Amino acid sequence: MEGFQKINLLDVLKDTDETLVKKALENFSCPPNADVEDFIRNKAITFSLQRLASVWLILASYRNEWVNVGYFALAQKYTHIKLKNLSSKLRQRLRKFVMFDKEIDKYLLTAPLIGQLGKNFTNSYNELITGDELLKIACDTVADGQRIFGGRVVYLECEDVPALVKFYEKNGFVQFGQRSPEGEEQYKLKNHSLIQLLKYLDV
pLDDT of residue 182: 75
3 — alpha (psi -120 to 50), left (phi > 0) or beta? left
Q: Please check whether residue 91 is in contact with residue 109, taking contact to mean a CB–CB distance below 8 angstroms.
A: no
Q: How far apart are CA 175 and CA 112, in angstroms?
A: 16
Q: How far apart are CA 105 and CA 84, in angstroms?
A: 11
Please state the pTM of the whole predicted model.
Answer: 0.93
pLDDT of residue 57: 98
Instruction: Please spell the DSSP secondary structure of 65-129, one letter per residue.
Output: EEEEEEEEEEEEEEEEE-GGGS-HHHHHHHTTTEEEETTTTEEEEEEEEEEEEEE--GGGGGGGS
pLDDT of residue 117: 98
> Over its length of 203 residues, how does the chain's per-residue pLDDT go in tens digits?
778 999 999 999 999 999 999 999 999 999 999 999 999 999 999 999 999 999 999 999 999 999 999 999 999 999 999 998 899 999 999 999 999 999 888 999 999 999 999 999 999 999 999 999 999 999 999 999 999 999 999 999 999 999 999 999 999 999 999 988 776 655 666 667 899 999 999 87
pLDDT of residue 190: 61
Shortest CA distance to 121 belongs to which of 189, 34, 2? 34
The one-character DSSP state at 32 is T
pLDDT of residue 180: 82
